[in-house]
Chain A
Amino acid sequence: MSDDLPIIKIEGLSKAFQGPDGEFFALEDINLEIKSGEIFGIIGMSGAGKSTLVRCINFLERPTQGTVYFDGQNLSDLTKKELYKIRQSIGMIFQQFNLLMQRNVLGNVCFPLEIAGVEKDQAVERAKELLSMVGLSDKTYAYPSQLSGGQQQRVAIARALATNPKVLLCDEATSALDPATTKDVLMLLKDINKNLGITIVIITHEMKVIEEICNRVAIIDKSRIAEVGSVEEVFTRPKTAAAKRLVFPEEHSIEMVPGKRCCRIVFNGNSSFEPIIAGMVLDFRQPVNILFADTKNIDGKAFGQMVIQLPDNELTASRMMEYLRAKNLTVEEVDGYV
C-alpha cells in the first residue's frame, strides 16, 4: 500500500432515514479522503450528521448512496463475514465508553480478541500489554463501575486497539470528560497515532479537541461537508459561513459601528500580534479600537484573528492596512460586523 493512498475514501455518500414526515437526509453527497497516519477531525453542530458519518465508515450504518473504501476495498462489495473481519481493523470508541459492565477490565479488553477467535492465553497477554500502555495495569481486575470516566475511556481505547486496527474512530470520545481528563485522553490518542501509526478519525463538536491534536479537519454542516483542509487553514481563514460560525462563534456579538472602518487581521503563525498593533499605534500616533480578538495556540504557533476599527481618516486607515500587510498579516476590510 502506498502512503498517499487514502486509508478511507468516501465518495458521493448519502444517508436517508425514514423520518416522521417522509425521507430525511442525515448525510448528503459526502466526499472525503482520510490519509493513512493522519489525525483527521470532523466537527459540526449537534445533529449535523457526525455520528451517522462515522458509523458509515465501518458500515454500522449502510449508506443509502455512495461508496466507502477502506484500505482500497469497497465495503459494499463485502459479504457479511468479510465485513465482520474488516471491522477488526477499524477500532471505535464512544462518548459513553460502552464497556461491558458485567466484565472486568481485563475481560473487556479481551472481548474483541475473543470475537476474533484469538486463544485465551494470547488474548490475556495482549490485553495486559495494552492495559500497561494506557496506564491501567493496576485496574486489570476492577469492574468498569469502579472506574472514573477517564479510566473507562482508557479501557475502551485499549479494547479498541486489541485487534491491531489500522484506524481508530472516535465519536465524541472526550465529550463526557472534564477538561483535564480530556487533555490526557487526547494526548494518549496522539501518542497512539505517533507510536503505532494508527490513523485516527475524531468526531467532535469542540474546537479545542481539533486544535489540540488534528492535522486536518472537515466541517460538517446540515448533512453536508462545508469545508475540508488543514487545521491551520480552516481555523485561520474559514471560507464558508458554517465554518466561520464554528471557528468564530463570538463574532455575532460584534456590533456594527456606522461610519467607521473595520478590518480583520488574520494571524497565521508568523508573528505574535500584540507588538504589531502596539507598534502601529505608536508609529501612527493614532488610536485603534480592538473590537474582537481571538487567538489560538495550534501546534505551538499563534493563530487567530482580530477585528480592529481604524481611524476615520481614509488615508491613515489605508496606510495602516499597508503597514499590517507589510508585517505578513492577512488584512481585509469588513463592513460592520463580520
Chain B
Amino acid sequence: MFDPEVWIMLGRGLLESLYMTLVSTALAYLLGLPMGIAMVVTDKEGIYPRERFNWILGLIINLFRSIPFLILLIMVLPVTRAIVGTTIGTNATIVPLVIAAAPFIARLVESSLKEVDKGVIEAAQSMGASSMQIITKVLLPEARPSLIVGAAIAVTTILSYSAMAGFVAGGGLGDIAIRYGYHRYQTDIMLVTVVLLVLIVQVLQEAGMRLARLGDKRK
C-alpha cells in the first residue's frame, strides 16, 4: 500500500519511539524511584519521619505534575539545548520526557510502597533492621508486583508523551503522524502510526501485567 521508503520511515519511527520511551523510562526511574522511596520513608508514619522534607518534596512533585506536557516541552527547551546541544530529534525529546515522567513515577512508586503491610515493616524493625535494610529487603521486594504494574503504566504513558513531542520535531512515530497527517493530509500514514502506537501500548501493558502476576507469591 505504501512505497518501501514509507515503510522504512515508519520502521525508523517505530525504533525511535521505542528508543525514546525506554531510555526516558530508565532515566526517569533513576530520578523517580528514589523520590518515591523518599516520600514513603519520610512520611509522618514512615520509618524515618521528616515532615518538612516530605512536605517540600511533595510540593515539588506536584508542581511538575501539574504542568501540561506540551508546555513543559517548550519551557525546558533551554535546558534541553544546554544538555543535548539541540532541541530537535529523539535525544532532545528525552530531556522533557524525563523531567515530566520522574515526578509521575515518584507518585506511582510511592503508592506501590504504601501498600506494603505496616506489620511486616514492624517485624523487620523488631529484628534490628536499619532503614536502608528495610527499603532494600522489605519495601521494594514486597511491593514488586505493584511496582511492575506501575512500570507498565509509566512506560505506556511516556510513549504517548513521546508522540506529543512530534509537535516540536521530536522524532519517532508522533513526529511522522504530525508531519504527514497534519501538515500533508496523508491520513493513511497517520493511521498506521496510530495503529503502531496502539500495538506497542498493548504489548507493553500486557507484558507488564503478566510479569507482575508471575512474580506475585501472594496467590
Contact = CB atoms under 8 A, between A and B. Distances in A.
Interface stretch (B6-14, B91-99, B135-143, B178-186): B135-143
B51 interface: no
A98 B217 contact: no
B122 interface: yes
B31 interface: no
B125 to A, nearest CB: 6
A96 B129 CA distance: 19
B47 to A, nearest CB: 11
Residue in A86, A115, A144, A145 whose Cβ sees the most chain B Cβ within 10 Å: A115
B144 interface: yes
A114 B125 CA distance: 13
Given A87-B128, A92-B126, A101 B218 contact: yes
B127 A163 contact: yes
Interface in B110-130: 117, 119-120, 122-130
Interface string A83-124: 111111011101010111111100000011011100000000
A84 B119 contact: no
Contacts of B137: 111, 114-115
Nearest to B145: A102
B128 A84 contact: yes
Given A115-B137, A145-B217, A98 B142 contact: no
B218 A145 contact: yes
Given A111-B137, A115-B137, A98 B123 contact: yes
B124 A115 contact: yes
A58 interface: yes
A102 B147 CA distance: 13
A101 B142 contact: yes
A95 B194 CA distance: 53
A116 B217 contact: no
B133 interface: yes
Residue in B125, B130, B145, B217 whose Cβ sees the most chain A Cβ within 10 Å: B217
A143 B128 contact: no
A87 B126 CA distance: 6
Interface residues of A, number: 32
Contacts of B127: 87-88, 91-92, 111-112, 115-116, 163
A102 B217 contact: yes
A111 B142 CA distance: 13
Nearest to B120: A98
B141 A60 contact: no
Interface in B8-54: none
A103 B138 CA distance: 10
Interface in A112-156: 112, 114-116, 143-145, 156
Contacts of A98: 117, 119-120, 122-123
A98 B124 CA distance: 9
Interface string A254-295: 000000000000000000000000000000000000000000
Contact of A102 (B122, B124, B142): B142
A84 B129 CA distance: 7
Contacts of B144: 102
Contacts of A156: 123
Contacts of A85: 128
A13 B119 CA distance: 24
A188 to B, nearest CB: 18
Given A115-B133, A143-B217, A100 B141 contact: yes
Contacts of B119: 94, 96, 98
Given A94-B122, A98-B120, A100-B141, A86 B128 contact: yes
Contact of B217 (A83, A92, A101): A101
A102 B141 contact: yes
A100 B128 contact: no
Contacts of B117: 96, 98, 101
A100 B126 contact: no
Interface string B143-183: 01100000000000000000000000000000000000000
A95 B181 CA distance: 62
19 contacts: A84-B129, A87-B125, A88-B128, A90-B126, A94-B123, A96-B117, A96-B119, A101-B117, A102-B144, A102-B215, A102-B217, A103-B141, A104-B217, A114-B137, A115-B129, A115-B137, A116-B128, A143-B218, A145-B219
Interface of A: 58, 60, 80, 83-88, 90-92, 94, 96, 98-104, 111-112, 114-116, 143-145, 156, 163, 169
Given A88-B128, A101-B142, 19 more contacts: A87-B128, A88-B127, A91-B126, A92-B123, A94-B119, A96-B119, A98-B122, A100-B142, A101-B117, A101-B217, A102-B141, A102-B217, A102-B218, A103-B141, A115-B124, A115-B128, A116-B127, A145-B217, A169-B126
* Ranked 7 nearest A-B pairs via Cβ: A87-B128, A84-B128, A98-B123, A92-B126, A98-B119, A112-B127, A143-B217
